[in-house]
């Protein structure tokens, strides 16, 4: 089974082009499964072997981790069946555990405003302002170049999941912070620069925001997705239309795996200016 697992990982890396993080997760989960059943040949695997492994894992792991491991096993065995190594996958009849339906805790408007005021840090202020102003995913944020920001129109061009591009507005306060950061810089440069002049990475942004949140005494760990959630929550509380918010977030519909709706950009801009707390400051 070890050789097939390696072939599957090669397929994920070179054909499916999964991220390094995802590849490591598959490798760890499948290795753990194999080590739990070291003497079971692939052809002898059945649903009982998979269930016994998941039951063992459940003792020390959260249900989300169990679900991820089952997904890895299902993907691997489905690939094995497709490649002719199995007549069918024994994992298909194993049901996923029910996951808790919870949203990340938001931050209050006052807490969000405080986070947007890091002392004497032009880059950090622009970064946090943009996260809260636009609701971007942190991966989308670090992928931005200066050319993706239009200060005149106050729009940022974002490449989201599935290589779907969208335009997201930001407010005057955010525009001022971004202007201080990018004025006079080449358009092709990354918007946010980290150590040694390289593009900031996701881990650095998470650590940075966590440190600011801790210094302000905000309850719980503060991470970028809490600002994304705050963006949506505060717009809703301000009377914004849910479908417009889904458009700005780049969410996909569960039923159609497409964006919820196409919203007229002029309408979206007016709605945004009337609803976002920072946009209403001026």
Catalytic site includes residue 157 = no
Write the DSSP symbol of residue 94: S
Pick the catalytic residue from 61, 166, 206, 251: 251
Catalytic site includes residue 37 = no
Find tokens 């986070």 and name the residue. 115
H or E element: which one contains 119?
none
CA 69 to chain centre: 19
| Residue 241 contacts residue 272 (beta carbons within 8 Å) | no
Residue 91 has which token pair?
A: 């994992």
Catalytic site includes residue 229 = no
Catalytic site includes residue 251 = yes
- DSSP string for residues in 157-194: EEE-GGG-EEEEE--HHHHHHHHHHHTT--TTSBSSB-
- DSSP string for residues in 66-87: HHHHHHHHHHHHHHHHHTTSSS
Pick the catalytic residue from 226, 228, 234, 278: 228
SS3 145: strand
Dihedral sign, CA of 269, 161, 20, 221?
positive
Considering the domain 109-281 in this protein, what is its CATH number?
1.10.443.10
Name the class of domain 2-93.
mainly alpha
Pick the catalytic residue from 26, 132, 212, 260: 260
Pick the catalytic residue from 137, 148, 171, 276: 137
Catalytic site includes residue 212 = no
Catalytic site includes residue 47 = no
Find tokens 């499916």 and name the residue. 16
* pLDDT tens by residue, the chain, 282 residues: 889 999 999 999 999 888 888 899 999 999 999 999 998 899 999 999 999 999 998 888 888 889 999 999 999 999 999 999 999 999 999 988 876 655 557 788 999 999 998 877 899 999 999 999 999 999 999 999 999 999 999 999 998 877 788 999 999 999 999 999 998 899 999 999 998 889 999 999 999 999 999 999 998 889 898 898 888 878 877 777 777 777 888 776 423 222 323 344 555 667 677 778 887 665
Average pLDDT over the chain reads 85
Three-state SS across 210-223?
HHHHHHCCCCCCCC
Beta-carbon contacts of 154 under 8 Å, excluding residues fewer than 6 positions away, are 169, 170, 171, 172, 174, 175
pLDDT digits (tens, 9 = 90+) for 12-34: 999 988 888 889 999 999 999 99
Residue 125's closest CA among 7, 220, 212? 212
Find tokens 């002392």 and name the residue. 119
Beta-carbon contacts of 251 under 8 Å, excluding residues fewer than 6 positions away, are 259, 260
Residue 178's closest CA among 170, 168, 186? 170
Where are the domains positioned within the chain? 2-93, 109-281
Pick the catalytic residue from 48, 82, 96, 161: 161
Pick the catalytic residue from 58, 68, 225, 229: 225
């Amino acid at each position: 089974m070890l050789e097939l697992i390696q072939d599957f990982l090669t397929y994920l890396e070179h054909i499916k082009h999964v991220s390094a993080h995802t590849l490591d997760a598959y490798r760890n989960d499948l290795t753990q499964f194999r080590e739990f059943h070291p003497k079971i040949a692939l052809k002898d695997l059945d649903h009982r072997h998979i269930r016994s492994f998941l039951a063992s894992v459940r003792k020390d792991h959260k249900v989300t981790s169990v679900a991820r491991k089952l997904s890895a096993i299902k993907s691997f065995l489905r690939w094995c069946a497709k490649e002719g190594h199995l007549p069918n996958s024994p994992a298909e009849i194993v049901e996923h555990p029910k996951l808790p339906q919870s949203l990340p805790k938001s931050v209050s408007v006052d807490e969000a405003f405080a986070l947007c005021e890091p002392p004497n840090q032009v880059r950090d202020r622009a970064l946090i302002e943009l996260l809260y102003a636009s609701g971007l995913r942190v991966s989308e944020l670090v992928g931005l170049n200066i050319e993706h920001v239009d200060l005149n129109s106050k729009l940022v061009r974002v490449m989201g999941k599935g290589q779907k591009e969208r335009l997201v507005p930001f407010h005057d306060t955010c525009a001022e912070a971004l202007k201080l950061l990018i004025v006079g810089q080449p358009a092709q440069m990354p918007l946010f620069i980290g150590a040694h002049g390289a593009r900031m990475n996701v881990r650095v942004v998470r650590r940075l925001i966590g440190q600011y949140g801790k210094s302000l005494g905000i309850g719980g760990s503060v991470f970028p997705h809490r600002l994304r959630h705050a963006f949506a929550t505060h717009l809703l509380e301000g009377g914004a239309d849910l479908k417009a918010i889904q458009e700005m977030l780049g969410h996909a519909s569960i039923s159609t795996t497409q964006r919820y709706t196409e919203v007229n950009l002029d309408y979206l801009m007016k709605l945004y200016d009337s609803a976002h707390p920072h946009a209403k400051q001026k």
